[in-house]
Chains A and B, each alone.
Chain A
């Protein structure tokens, strides 16, 4: 079976994949839209408090990874940081959607922190499953990034009229299951959203996709429907994830789902390889598969713009 046949077969078997956009070796692509016109009804209320600003998503740095797919994951993280610093407008802050390290080792967290502090702006983290494989799961992660968070590291904060929610869906995973938010976090989320006006733009970020991308590879969150139910009254919801090391997007009602590239190594498109293991790329092509995601909010209520930039063209 050829690569293409496998991919098409996978898509035809699963209608849910139909409206996803696949990132091939495209260098930069921009998505404007994905936020429905209903936002314009609610816009007036939040317009006054919204200033143009941008933030940037980093994901899946896997510091410590040194296998053939990328022998120097710390080096490519360093390149990503250098590219960000060369942007004409610096983001107000950063989010990192997990798998900062490959094996939760102190030395790996140290190396990551050393490179990321060059960004000179706040970084809001959520853990990936690779960040909590220490002896006492999550202890090292929370010691570094847990300040101001609850439970396994979830949190919310407000910036320029936008409500941000960092969720943790990599803890207490069950055999045969997917990502997991858990009852305690869902109760916290319900409470966190309770006081908010439905016109408040919401950005949710978590490591594993909060929509079912490909359950055969564990790419989904088993109780994400409960979280999305709590979010459905809001006019603009943007959900940002990592974990799958490739750009993928889906729009469902007022919710835009988007995954970011890794700064370490790519993974295959769902069903196109025997496993989701690190994908070896042709010589010289690695950096076209790695990158970061910039998100722009523009005054006047223009739709949230999502720009994925690769490390090389």
Chain B
């Protein structure tokens, strides 16, 4: 009986998922990309991603850093060593960001529909 139930559920969901994939502006597989903070530098300093992708910053330094959008659309807490911060970029555009503790540290995320 459980088998029948699952099959039924899958059947009922399938048209909906198909429609969502066709209508949604998000790519079928939103990617997870990472930026490493090392030696007071964002690596890579510039990153091009697709709408819906999630960027995760990891602090590899022995000193805290932050990740703050110049337009204030995203802002991390202070990241101590090995702390992470993730943000999903939904809207296309160019997002300049910096470390508010060490403002000479700057980076850029370009969100572009492939």
Contact = CB atoms under 8 A, between A and B. Distances in A.
Contacts of B98: 175-176
Contacts of A67: 62-63, 81
B62 A278 contact: yes
B66 A133 contact: yes
A67 B113 CA distance: 42
A216 interface: yes
Contacts of B70: 175
B48 to A, nearest CB: 19
Contact of A173 (B77, B80, B103): B103
Contacts of B39: 274-275, 277
A164 to B, nearest CB: 27
A77 B66 CA distance: 26
Given A175-B96, A275-B39, A130 B62 contact: no
Interface in A123-170: 129-130, 133, 135
B73 to A, nearest CB: 13
Contacts of B61: 275, 277
A300 interface: no
A177 to B, nearest CB: 5
Nearest to A179: B103
Interface in B66-104: 66, 70, 77-78, 80-81, 96-98, 100-104
A173 B98 CA distance: 10
Chain B, interface SS category: loop
B101 A129 contact: yes
B64 to A, nearest CB: 6
Nearest to A267: B63
B62 A215 contact: no
Interface residues of B, number: 22
A10 interface: no
A278 B61 CA distance: 9
Nearest to A137: B100
Contact of B104 (A68, A135, A217, A274): A217
A52 to B, nearest CB: 40
Given A67-B81, A274-B39, A176 B62 contact: no
A150 to B, nearest CB: 22
Contacts of A174: 103
A133 to B, nearest CB: 4
B78 A103 contact: yes
Given A133-B78, A175-B97, A218 B104 contact: yes
B104 A176 contact: yes
Contacts of A129: 100-102
A96 interface: no
A133 B81 CA distance: 15
A275 B41 contact: yes
A102 B102 contact: no
B106 interface: yes
A178 B103 CA distance: 7
A108 B106 CA distance: 28
Interface in A193-221: 215-218
A104 B77 CA distance: 12
A277 B65 CA distance: 11
Given A68-B62, A175-B70, A176-B98, A276 B40 contact: yes
Interface of A: 67-69, 102-104, 129-130, 133, 135, 173-178, 215-218, 274-278
Interface of B: 39-41, 61-64, 66, 70, 77-78, 80-81, 96-98, 100-104, 106
7 contacts: A133-B64, A133-B78, A135-B77, A175-B98, A274-B39, A275-B41, A277-B61
